[in-house]
Structure 1
């Protein structure tokens, strides 16, 4: 089965960084890549449900999702794997579920949530087979895919979600080691996502909900600023390491003040390696997204992308335009939008960069 995996489309966000809504050439590149695909896996954060009410995100995302559905062959199937920004696609089902999740639990969209039912209809259901799978999906006996948000409790970069997960871990105990279950992660992340979603539903026009994330702006300032308000930037840069030490003293970390490109890459790889090990994922290959950093790229040390348990990691990147991360590298940046992973009947997953032309 020829499977295309794409993640982090973030359709419907209020900041306008989701390229598929604003760049017809980008949408054409994605729909062209669907030719000959037997299965499309939308590996989380397909929708941006943290910026404002879900109805707004759905209305904005509908034309793109319908275009994707129309580009697929009639017999092709689609699997929705919720991420942290569109967790509400499955929250209703997950709250009511009595059985353990394991590594893959699958349900029909109408059971998962009303939001998932809308998305499935735009993709072509009920004529087309559309499923919701969480926390991941087995693409082959040796390939497992998940959005990747379970890595947040193990990260060292002080993102909003890492710090929030640290606070929750103090309240409900951290993810156990050496082995854990999906439920161990869910008791930390699910309450955070519920609060963030409730905030977004009440965000006024022109504003974004709490937890929407402003990582790009903060990253730019901490890396030296964008040329504006230099005094403020210098003060923030000087105070940042002190704040990190305070966070670690409170037991919310450990996190680091290192925000270099190398640190961001290692953060995602190392933390995902912990998830794979603790969940006991017996796959040779693990595909994830979440960090928006495609890889491994030709310039990467490929051995860095192998987990201590022996699995090879593959990151599908994103479809958002983040100049704060791409910088002067442009399309040569690992954060350039348009990433996808192709999984065929045999051979390792293959990273595609559909917008580098």
Structure 2
């Protein structure tokens, strides 16, 4: 079986950075989809944090229909919710009393109306199996795949979600070691519920509060020396603020926002998730960080967990202008990543948009 794994399409948001919204960006992905026996959409397929679900679904429909049209007859589709489209499974998860384990299968129409609609556009009911798995799934006996949002409580980069997860761990209980999926859900689900509620009440065409601010903050705090005086002053004060958060018990956090720090943040966090959940696999595939890898120039040892699992990141299909403007397609954050898993051998990383110029369209 040939499995194609893609993550972080972020279809349908108000900022218009989802490159697949542009029809001319789709052919390279559709060509790979046409050769797949199984398509795994590994989280954040939809951008449900910038406005009402109905808006995102309307914008995402053409892309989802194109994916369905490219799939061979009999090919399977698996949806894995991430943090930005957690609402696809939130109603079912809120009512579910049993353990999740590493792989729980849910009929999309039972997970939520939105998941049922996505499944219909992907071909459910037309002879194609479309299922939802959470928090991940086994692609082979030795290959596990999950979105990767469980790494946030273990990160050191002070993203909004890391800070919120730190606060939740202070109020509730820190993720233990060993852990089960419910330990992560206890910390993260309340945060997601609050963000999703805000998005549903975003009444105009502006993105809900917080959208796009991570990139702007990164640009301001780690710029190239041409920043205005106010930005330089903020960057100088930033480490002091991080120190204060650490004293409050929200950390451990670091003021290092270098490319290397961002990479290590995701890899170390995912290593923690793998260890605490007891994932025994040769390969673990995830998305979430949008940082494609491992790439030829990467230190492969960084991509191996203490338990010996090799980590693989799908990258994203988002125009990360704040991270890619200087290096363009050489950037590990350049859109167009995918991973192929065959019946044997290591997962193969694909970079499908190296010659593409992703300029965001109006939302």
Sort the TM-score into its range (normalised by shorter chain): over 0.9
Per-residue CA deviation, residues 134-182 of structure 1 (Å, 9 max, x unaligned), is 00010000000000000000000000000000000001110002x0000
Match of 2:135, SS? strand
Deviation at 1:212, TM superposition (A): 3.3
**Contact 1:7 1:43 (C-alpha < 8 Å) held by counterparts:** yes
CA distance in 1, matches of 2:209, 2:130: 31
Taking the aligned partners of 1:321 and 1:52, their CA distance within structure 2 comes to: 19
Q: Which position in structure 2 is the counterpart of 1:318?
A: 316
C-alpha RMSD of the superposition: 1.2
Q: Which runs of 4+ in 1 moved over 6 A?
A: none
Q: In structure 2, list runs of 5 or more residues that go unmatched.
A: 356-363
Deviation, 1:98, is: 1.4
Unpaired runs of at least 5, structure 1: none
Q: Which residue of 2 aligns with 1:244?
A: 242
Distance 2:266 2:202 in 1: 30
Give the structure 1 partner of residue 256 of structure 2.
258
Asked whether 1:123 is paired with 2:95, we answer no
Is the 8 Å Cα contact of residues 224 and 233 (structure 1) preserved in structure 2?
A: no
Query: Hey, what does 1:190 align to over in structure 2?
Result: 189
Aligned to 1:18: 18
Which residue in the other structure is 2:332 paired with?
A: 334
Question: TM-score, normalization: structure 2?
Answer: 0.96
Q: Which moved more, 1:251-260 or 1:233-242?
A: 233-242
How many residues align? The count is: 354
Q: Do the aligned partners of residues 213 and 176 (structure 1) sit closer, same or farther apart at CA in structure 2, a change above 3 Å counting?
A: farther
- How far residue 322 of structure 1 moved from its aligned partner, in angstroms, is 0.9
Shift of 1:223: 1.5
What corresponds to 1:355 in structure 2?
353
Cα deviation, residue 25, structure 1:
2.8
TM-score (structure 1 length as normaliser): 0.97
| Residue 211 of structure 1: how far off its partner (Å) | 4.5
Q: Which residue of 2 aligns with 1:61?
A: 60
Residue 43 of structure 1 corresponds to 42
Q: Cα deviation per residue 1:196-229 (whole Å; 9 max; x = unaligned)?
A: 000000112132223435111111111137957x
Report the equivalent of 1:139.
139
> How far is 1:231 from its partner?
2.3
Q: Structure 1 CA distance, aligned partners of 2:330 and 2:251?
A: 32
Structure 1 contact 80–132 (Cα < 8 Å) conserved = yes
Q: Does 1:3 align with 2:35?
A: no
Shifted more, 203-212 versus 286-295: the winner is 203-212
